[in-house]
A = this chain, B = another copy of it.
């Protein structure tokens, strides 16, 4: 179950779980892209993960307690992957990663817009988003008084994408 740890440092332990090139990509796609099936994660991500790597990461993330796997009642072969509370609480970390990447790396506009909104919204927005993720993934009852952060992020992304495509078509 527990392989020996390199040290008890919180940053090190976090790196032991998430410190590779794919684990956070998978979590990002489930969290922000609502990809819940193997094929969706395989085909709809921009980074083109290999199927054996995806299979390995999903298994690892389930073992580490960040995801859980259920059978899809609508299809005997489909599996549904969901975020656990442990993964939902990565929202601040992913928001900071997005903010840093946006500031220092050559991001594309349509993929940076969600990071920008998350950064501008700050911790109150993150908390709203985490609560929505709990509704989506942990079967928590929704709070109808709150507008959906997920929809706001997705709409902003679609808007930039449509504008760039319109500009490219000219």
Contacts and interface: CB of A to CB of B under 8 A. Distances in A.
Contacts of A16: 21
Interface residues of A, number: 45
B105 A17 contact: yes
A102 interface: yes
User: Copy number of this protein in the oligomer?
Assistant: 2
A17 B101 CA distance: 9
Interface in A71-121: 86, 89-90, 92-94, 96-108, 111-112, 115
A28 interface: yes
Interface of A: 5-17, 19-21, 24-25, 28, 46-48, 65, 86, 89-90, 92-94, 96-108, 111-112, 115
